[in-house]
């Protein structure tokens, strides 16, 4: 038995020396250590050993088996380490390579201003209410107290579509739609695109407005000015003041044009405010009683204020943009300047 084991030990050593991969390691285990392998097979040969020598022979076989198993474990650990090292080398990542440039987009200045105004008014309890860009004459004009022959229609050259439809000339159509849908108290902002057949250095046939409407009991022009003060201070700086000038809009009575103190010169007069110290930013007023009545809201019980802001104008003032075309050309060199 001693001799048989010695021969097998020599075989084991030779085989182990040839183990270089998990495949050959598995083959080694199969040949020597599996249930039908050569090492467990020694036990079967115990039968040929004289009875009195069997306990000693059994012990030797067990010791040999333990030794081969230990050698197998050691080889397995070595192979595992070698294979991991090889894989690490093969899959190595060079972290010194410069990263790929990612071109992140940025929000358009019109979007930035729109969101900023919405944020400011959301803080005062306003909800956003979107009205359609294609609407009918009644919502865009008639029910806003601009009847068919009204001269105010000439101020807004309209793109007419088929039938009674048109491209809205103002976000004021949102006032009528909101008052048809809701009952007071109403507090909405209606942003969006508007269209006029008008195009030159300071006019684009498509531009953006933000309509505001509040209808409740006891609303006055003071409420409008108070909220606009908050708006312009947030947009243009703490010290900014507002000034209301009498004006005319068919849907408000009284109507006002709102100026802000020039944030460039602080009111002393500069090229931005054309020496006046004031810059016009929006129109508004107390909702005309007829408009409330047109929407089945009792003007003796409720009153309201409304305003309309030109978003392009605010963006140009806020960011110092001197050419409106820049806002529509989508030149990346211009747009990239608004990256945060
Ligand atoms: N819709 C007007 C325009 O486009 C702006 C405006 C003025 C809206 C006064 C209002 C308002 O709601 O009260 O010129």
* Structure-token pair, residue 183: 């009952």
Contact, 212 vs 284, CB < 8 A?
yes
What was the pLDDT predicted at 153? 77
Q: DSSP character for 281?
A: E
Structure-model confidence comparison of residues 260 and 293, the more confident one: 293
Q: What is the mean pLDDT of residues 254-279?
A: 89
Q: What is the mean pLDDT of residues 178-203?
A: 92
- CA distances to 15, 225, 302 from 186, rounded to whole Å, are 90, 18, 11
What was the pLDDT predicted at 47? 85
Q: How many other C-beta atoms lie within 10 A of the C-beta of residue 291?
A: 26
Q: What is the mean pLDDT of residues 28-42?
A: 90
Is cis: bond before 254, omega within 30 of 0? yes
State the DSSP string of 67-118.
HHHHHHHHHHHHHHHHHHHHHHHHT---TTSPPPP-------HHHHHHHHHH
Ligand 1 binding pocket includes 174 (Cβ within 6 Å): no
**Would you say the C-alpha torsion 66, 72, 75, 80 has a positive or negative sign?**
negative
* In the predicted structure, residue 270 carries a pLDDT above the cut 90: no
Task: Give the residue, out of 126, 283, 304, with the most ligand 1 atoms within 8 A of its beta carbon, to mutate for a pocket test.
Answer: 283
What was the pLDDT predicted at 210? 97
Q: Cα torsion for 129, 133, 136, 138, to the nearest 10°?
A: 40
What was the pLDDT predicted at 53? 86
277: Cβ contacts below 8 Å, ≥ 6 apart: 261, 262, 265, 267, 268, 269
Contact, 194 vs 211, CB < 8 A?
no
Mean pLDDT of all residues belonging to the chain: 92
- CA distances to 40, 63, 139, 293, 307 from 181, rounded to whole Å, are 89, 93, 13, 14, 19
Ligand 1 binding pocket includes 282 (Cβ within 6 Å): no
What was the pLDDT predicted at 289? 98
Task: Give the residue, out of 249, 287, 306, 311, with the most ligand 1 atoms within 8 A of its beta carbon, to mutate for a pocket test.
Answer: 249
- What percent of the chain shows pLDDT beyond 90? 61
What's the pLDDT tens digit per position in 69-81? Answer: 999 999 999 999 9
Ligand 1 atom index nearest CA of 194: 4
What was the pLDDT predicted at 334? 93
The reported pTM is 0.71
Q: What is the mean pLDDT of residues 14-20?
A: 89
If you take atom 3 of ligand 1, which residue's CA is the nearest one? 170
Ligand 1 binding pocket includes 304 (Cβ within 6 Å): no
Query: What is the pLDDT confidence band of residue 229, given thresholds at 50, 70 and 90?
Result: very high
Query: What is the pLDDT confidence band of residue 50, given thresholds at 50, 70 and 90?
Result: confident
Ligand 1 binding pocket includes 249 (Cβ within 6 Å): yes
Query: What is the pLDDT confidence band of residue 212, given thresholds at 50, 70 and 90?
Result: very high
* In the predicted structure, residue 273 carries a pLDDT above the cut 90: no
* In the predicted structure, residue 135 carries a pLDDT above the cut 80: yes
| Distance of alpha carbon 268 from alpha carbon 253, whole angstroms | 32
* In the predicted structure, residue 340 carries a pLDDT above the cut 80: no
Task: Give the residue, out of 145, 308, 309, 310, with the most ligand 1 atoms within 8 A of its beta carbon, to mutate for a pocket test.
Answer: 308
| Distance of alpha carbon 212 from alpha carbon 191, whole angstroms | 9
């Amino acid at each position: 038995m001693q001799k048989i084991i010695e021969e097998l030990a020599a075989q084991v050593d030779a085989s182990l020396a040839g183990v270089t991969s998990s495949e050959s390691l598995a083959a080694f285990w199969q040949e020597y250590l599996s249930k039908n392998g050569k090492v467990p097979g020694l036990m079967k040969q115990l039968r040929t050993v004289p009875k009195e020598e069997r306990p000693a022979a059994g012990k030797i076989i067990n010791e040999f088996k333990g030794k081969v198993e230990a050698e197998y474990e050691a080889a397995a650990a070595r192979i595992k380490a070698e294979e991991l090292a090889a894989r690490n080398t093969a899959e190595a990542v060079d972290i010194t390579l410069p990263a790929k440039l990612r071109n992140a987009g940025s929000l358009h200045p019109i979007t930035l201003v729109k969101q900023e105004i919405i944020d400011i008014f959301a803080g005062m309890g306003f909800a956003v209410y979107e009205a359609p860009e294609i609407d009918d004459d009644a919502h865009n004009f008639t029910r806003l107290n601009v009847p068919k022959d009204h001269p105010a229609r000439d101020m807004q050259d309209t793109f007419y579509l088929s039938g009674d439809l048109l491209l809205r000339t103002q976000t004021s159509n949102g006032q009528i739609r909101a008052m048809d849908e809701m009952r007071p108290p109403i507090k909405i902002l209606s942003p969006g695109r508007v269209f006029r057949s008008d195009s030159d250095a300071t006019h684009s046939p498509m531009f953006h407005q933000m309509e505001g409407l509040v209808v409740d009991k006891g609303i006055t022009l003071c409420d409008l000015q108070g909220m606009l003060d908050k708006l312009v201070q947030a947009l243009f700086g703490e010290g900014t003041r507002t000034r209301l000038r009498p004006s005319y809009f068919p849907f408000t009575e009284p109507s006002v044009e709102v100026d802000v103190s020039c944030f460039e010169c602080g009111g002393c007069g500069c090229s931005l405010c054309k020496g006046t110290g004031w810059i016009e930013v929006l129109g508004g007023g107390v909702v005309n009683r007829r408009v409330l009545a047109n929407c089945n809201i009792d003007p003796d019980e409720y009153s309201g204020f409304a305003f309309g802001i030109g978003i392009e104008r605010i963006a140009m003032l806020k960011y110092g943009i001197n050419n409106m075309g820049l806002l529509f050309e989508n030149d990346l060199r211009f747009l990239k300047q608004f990256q945060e």
